Amino acid sequence: MDASIIIRTYNEARWLPAVLEAIANQTLARERFEVLVVDSGSTDGTREIAKAHGCRLVSISKEEFTFGRSLNLGCAVAEGRALVFLSGHCIPATHDWLERLIAPLGERGIAYVYGRQLPHERSKYSEGQLFRKYFPERSALPQEGFFCNNGNAALLREVWQDNLFNEALTGLEDMDLAKRLLAQGWKVGYIAEAPVYHIHEESWLRVRQRYEREAIALQAIMPEIHVDFIDFLRYFVSGVLFDWASALRDRCFLRFAGEIVMFRLMQYWGTWRGNNDHRKLSRRRKEAYFYPR
């Protein structure tokens, strides 16, 4: 089997049907890949949707969930040569997305590859700016550095077997693994021709918490990085001004001006808090960081 698509879910009923329909319409023959849904306790019909679309369903309890552990659980039962990771709210944007994503694996020492992410019409404006920054129009095979994102990625199964995802991190398990693979001589690639629409529909509190837990994880991956309060203010102001200028060029300033301020505030406030949180997490706080909703 060429590929196993592993989708982590928690209450993804809104977008999961569109995700699975896009997968069903891929040019790669259906018998050459499988779809696994690793669910962490959905109550909105997500599990029923997965079963109706013929997915293999894997369950992980709320108490056991971490981002890395849920992926390791899915990888352990997967049968494909390529392990494909897709968020339950990332919709493949092309019919050849899967073929394009897995094609670079094994070439030029590439063991891990990630695809482009595009803003959806429901995406926040500033998030669209981040997508343009981190997921450019041009591929890099291989790329420099260890940035990677499991919202839309693929990994050689044989490589994963010797390099499991870190189950203790509060996020960024993809970058942690990519850094370890580069140290072993493997390469990471970026394939722009394998795009998905990434849809985040979060409250402002959830945006802040997402960046906070990612900053905590980044501290473990890159302990040399420190974000102080002056950095927070500088990044916030520059982020708002950059997005306002872009919104003016796009002729949508009045529509998004306030949203831009809130997003950049939550992004950098969360980053500052997480980067400066050196305490052990209490059980309640750990639950808030790890559990996806």
| Predicted pLDDT of residue 100 | 98
Q: Is the pLDDT of residue 65 over 70?
A: yes
Coil, helix or strand at residue 9: strand
**Is the CB of residue 152 less than 8 Å from the CB of residue 101?**
yes
Q: Quick check: 128 pLDDT over 80?
A: yes
pLDDT band at 63 (very low <50, low <70, confident <90, very high): confident
Question: pLDDT confidence of 62, banded at 50, 70, 90?
Answer: confident
Can you tell me whether residue 201 is helix, strand or coil? coil
Main-chain phi, psi angles of 105, to 5 degrees: -60, 130
pLDDT in tens, 155-168: 999 999 999 999 99
- Asked if 243 contacts 126 with a C-beta cutoff of 8 angstroms, the reply is yes
* pLDDT category of residue 282 using cuts at 50, 70 and 90: low
Pairing assessment for the beta strands 90-92 and 33-39 based on DSSP bridges? unpaired
**What is the percent of the chain where pLDDT is above 70?**
95
pLDDT at 243 over 70: yes
Q: Is the pLDDT of residue 289 over 60?
A: no
Residue 285 has pLDDT above 90, yes or no: no
pLDDT digits (tens, 9 = 90+) for 38-59: 999 999 999 999 999 999 999 9
Mean pLDDT of the chain: 94
CB distance 33 to 98 below 8 Å:
yes
Which amino acid appears at position 184 of this protein?
Q
Q: What is the mean pLDDT of residues 214-236?
A: 93
**pLDDT for residue 287:** 57
Instruction: Give the pLDDT band (50/70/90) at residue 174.
Output: very high
Predicted pLDDT of residue 276: 87
At residue 163, the 3 state secondary structure works out as: coil
21 Cα distance to chain centroid: 20
CA distances to 10, 11, 92, 107 from 14, rounded to whole Å, are 11, 8, 15, 37
pLDDT value for 177: 98
